[in-house]
Amino acid sequence: MKLVAPASVPVLSVRDLCVDARTPEGRRRVLEDVSFNLNPGETLCIAGESGSGKSVTSLSIMQLLPKASLQIASGSIQLGDRELTKLSDRAMRSVRGGDIAMVFQEPMTSLNPVLSIGTQLIEAIREHQAAESGKAEAIARQMLDAVHITEPGRRLTQYPHELSGGMRQRVMIAMALSCRPKVLIADEPTTALDVTVQAQILKLMRELKQEFGASIILITHDMGVVAEMADRVAIMQNGRIIEQGSAMTVFDRPTKLYTRQLLAAVPRLGAHAGTDGPPRVGSEVARVEVPDRSPVLLARNLNVTYGSPTRWLFKGKPPVSAVTDVSFELRPGETLGLVGESGSGKSTTGKAVLGLIPFTGDVVIDGKNIGGLSARQMQPIRRSAQMIFQDPYASLDPRMAVGAAIAEPLIIHGLADKSERDDRIAELLRRVGLQADAASRYPHEFSGGQRQRICIARALALEPKLIVADESVAALDVSVRARVLDLMLELQETMGLAYLFISHDMAVIERMSHNVAVMRAGRIVEMGTRREVFESPKDEYTRALMAAVPIPDPRARQII
């Protein structure tokens, strides 16, 4: 593995950077004395949990802090011989894109939905390279080809919603590199991507760094990605850089407890080899024994088709088969991990088995076939089966206090009076690791991990036998994710819950599952016990998913 030698003159130097936030109570320091250098041709990974100051640091470098709420209080940001904190807005606009470019976490919110890909790429090229329209279009085609997007000419005419998440992220990288910047800042560029698409994006960034000679600041909470990409690592906590060094040094000899905790929280593929089920989360947890072992969920020849037929003068969309002949069963106290890439049919399967979308075939929940039931007829079955969605903030009504959100299913099913509900809410909050006074607060007052705990509490309110967890930890920091997974395992042990656990993360699936089903293009291509699937995978697609998982060890880095 080749490490970049430190250069005598850094391309970017940040010194004693402090940023203040304006709050109703006055100014609050959110960045404190942040200092680092970025050398030519180097990849610096800034790692830490949400709220540690990673994104604020990147926005400070780009001079994109929202002026109404955040302000640089002191410090220096020097690009070559230019002090960026002293530049006017007009001068800084020429720096952005030309000298420093940024790839944001969510490409769909970064790209203009009403402008074609070509229009947005060409606009950036003409702005920073003073190229006439024909030359700018030719450069745009070349950049799409450089990031391995097929049919670049056709893609230029398409709009963001017509591309997959991975392709949109490639467009953002193409746009960022189109003007040959000296520094590329990538803020969580792979967080929402499948493991195979993530591997492709990371490989692409390494290739483009070599081709264009850019220096990269990669911001992430995924220590596997850090190990894969970093020459040097800076660990942030509470607005400070607490540890900094070469990737090998930080991974082999971390000096701070927080760094060791981040590394320990990373799910490692193969860590549970030789075992048949998830690990026990604590000897003090009493495992409940479920006397009835009949399936709580049974799916037979499940099919889901999207599209609408032509009616009268209105032309319908051609039918698309999203799920085809999917069959499985799930027993109390067990977890079936459903894994695959985006578009493989995982979430559609999860919604179908709960009767949230139309389907054909048989779905039996707690002995009752739900095929063809109306919403009213489904209501009593909802007590047996609940769902936890990927985005906890979107799952909670921002105008409803947490206690009211948890009480809502109890009210709908008429299960308790007011005083009983209050006691039940306090107990549910305690069970998921929150204080009873959280009931009077609103979703925006909690962190992402706490909001997901609230969603789990709401799902538990009806004491269900089955929970469908759809990418329920995908958006969480690695350490928060570990705590939520431990909580779910503990609840399973104490309540005998059955989980249909949907994820694209093979390491998380390995940790959580008793049995595993691998989906591709709407079909289950492989299914078996956890040991069978992870230790003796039979399908090439399963092996490809496992090979794409980043290994949190710089020594295992892929060399191109």
Per-residue confidence (pLDDT) for residue 1, from 0 to 100 = 44
Per-residue confidence (pLDDT) for residue 330, from 0 to 100 = 95
Q: Is the pLDDT of residue 560 over 80?
A: no
Tens-digit pLDDT profile for residues 167-199: 787 888 888 888 788 899 988 887 666 777 778
| Residue with tokens 């391309």, as numbered in its chain | 11
Per-residue confidence (pLDDT) for residue 69, from 0 to 100 = 86
Q: How confident is the model at residue 466 (pLDDT cuts 50, 70, 90)?
A: very high
At 56 the three-state DSSP class reads helix
Distance between CA atoms of residues 94 and 96, nearest Å: 6
Q: How confident is the model at residue 471 (pLDDT cuts 50, 70, 90)?
A: confident
Q: Is the pLDDT of residue 3 over 60?
A: no
* C-alpha distances in Å from residue 130, one per residue of 70, 95, 96, 133, 136: 33, 14, 15, 9, 9
* Mean pLDDT, rounded, for 394-419: 88
Among 163-167, 289-293, 347-351, 471-475, the minimum mean pLDDT is found in 289-293
Residue 487 backbone zone (phi > 0: left; psi -120 to 50: alpha; other: beta):
alpha
Q: Is the pLDDT of residue 519 over 60?
A: yes
Q: How confident is the model at residue 287 (pLDDT cuts 50, 70, 90)?
A: low
Per-residue confidence (pLDDT) for residue 51, from 0 to 100 = 78
Distance between CA atoms of residues 531 and 345, nearest Å: 23
Q: Is the pLDDT of residue 7 over 50?
A: no
* Mean pLDDT, rounded, for 453-457: 90
- With a pLDDT cut of 70, the percent of the chain lying above it is 93
Per-residue confidence (pLDDT) for residue 313, from 0 to 100 = 61
Q: Which helix (H) or strand (E) holds 102?
A: strand 100-103
Distance between CA atoms of residues 537 and 473, nearest Å: 25
Q: Is the pLDDT of residue 55 over 80?
A: yes
* Cross-strand bridge partners of residue 14: 36, 77
Per-residue confidence (pLDDT) for residue 404, from 0 to 100 = 93
Residue 477 backbone zone (phi > 0: left; psi -120 to 50: alpha; other: beta):
beta
Distance between CA atoms of residues 122 and 431, nearest Å: 54
* C-alpha distances in Å from residue 152, one per residue of 57, 338, 530: 34, 34, 41
Per-residue confidence (pLDDT) for residue 302, from 0 to 100 = 96
Per-residue confidence (pLDDT) for residue 8, from 0 to 100 = 61
Does residue 342 or residue 530 have the better pLDDT? 530
Q: How many CA atoms lie less than 13 Å away from 512 in the CB half-sphere?
A: 35
* Mean pLDDT, rounded, for 29-50: 92
Q: How confident is the model at residue 290 (pLDDT cuts 50, 70, 90)?
A: low
Among 36-40, 266-270, 537-541, the minimum mean pLDDT is found in 266-270
Domain ranges of the chain: 12-264
Q: Is the pLDDT of residue 301 over 90?
A: yes
Look over the chain and give the mean of its residue pLDDT values, rounded to a whole number. 86
Distance between CA atoms of residues 299 and 105, nearest Å: 36
Most confident of 26-30, 131-135, 481-485: 26-30
Which amino acid is located at 247 in the chain?
Answer: A
Per-residue confidence (pLDDT) for residue 259, from 0 to 100 = 92
Phi, psi (5° rounding) for residue 447? -75, 170
Other Cβ atoms closer than 10 A to 59 = 17
Does residue 331 or residue 277 have the better pLDDT? 331
What strands, in cross-sheet order, belong to the sheet with 26-38? 26-38, 12-23, 70-79, 82-83
* Mean pLDDT, rounded, for 443-453: 81
Phi, psi (5° rounding) for residue 9? -120, 110
Q: Note the pTM of the prediction, 2 decimals.
A: 0.77
Q: How confident is the model at residue 5 (pLDDT cuts 50, 70, 90)?
A: very low
Per-residue confidence (pLDDT) for residue 250, from 0 to 100 = 94
- With a pLDDT cut of 90, the percent of the chain lying above it is 42
CATH fold of the domain at 12-264: Rossmann fold (3.40.50)
Per-residue confidence (pLDDT) for residue 187, from 0 to 100 = 87
Per-residue confidence (pLDDT) for residue 282, from 0 to 100 = 60
Q: Report residue 252 as tokens.
A: 């082999």
Q: Report residue 276 as tokens.
A: 């048949």
Q: Residue 430: which residues within 8 A CB-CB, separation 6 or more? A: 436
DSSP state of 193: S
Among 58-62, 120-124, 317-321, 388-392, the minimum mean pLDDT is found in 317-321
Q: Is the pLDDT of residue 126 over 80?
A: yes
Q: How confident is the model at residue 530 (pLDDT cuts 50, 70, 90)?
A: very high
Smallest CA-to-CA distance from 358 within 344, 346, 370, 368 is with 370
Q: How confident is the model at residue 418 (pLDDT cuts 50, 70, 90)?
A: confident
Work out the angle at residue 522's Cα, subtended by the Cα atoms of residues 517 and 526, and round it to the nearest 5 degrees.
Answer: 30
